[in-house]
Structure 1
Amino acid sequence: MSKQIIFSEKAPAAIGPYSQAVLAGNTLYVSGQIALDLAPLGDIEAETKKIMENLGHILAEAGMDYTHVVKASIFLKSMDDFGTVNTVYGSFFIENPPARETVQVGKLPKDVNVEISVIAVK
């Protein structure tokens, strides 16, 4: 099986030794995205929207869109933000949303409030 590294200049570059996304066969694994390109941080609605837009840029680079997403993982600094994140996230998946889990974590990179990763299939 071959793998192809996917990179979109419209989304933030990786901040460590990982790729924005890897296409293996027909499956795209998108690394967790944070709102690196949003300053100041703190507005959970703005962070979530920016992350979802960045995920869209990466999906597009692989010739996909949100309809191809089959699984999402959401990591929250505070579960108190669940409702807001859920509303913004849901606006990108109008029909047939993907499988998903949402968990609260102790800390996220760059002290952001939310991180989201997805798996998409073409």
Structure 2
Amino acid sequence: MSRLTAGRMLGRVDALLPNQYSREEKMRWLAEAEGFVLREVQQLAGALPEVTEDYVLTAEAPYDQMYRYYVEAQIHYANGETARYNNAAAQWNNAFLTYKDYCCRTAASRRTTAALRLF
């Protein structure tokens, strides 16, 4: 399965949630979500990469759906739809934490650091 690009993700958002916001605005929101993933999960220091239409998102399937929830939450927030925003934000939070947990579990098995052994 190929990795999801930013352009394809925004196409999914537009298909599921028709809206009046520009592609640039939605791309900015998507870049914010990618920034959270890179800083909080991947521990990236330094400048964040520019998110363009062809940018391949960091999270792979099935975790890539969290990006959709973030953009949808921002659309609902901008529309003043509080209940819909709360639902989408809760989905984003759950998906983000699930992805973060997944990364911690899989990275822990690859670590070569010695563990503290208690007798």
For CA contacts below 8 A with separation 6 or more, give which structure has more relative contact order: 1
TM-score, L = length of structure 2: 0.29
Structure number with greater Rg is 2
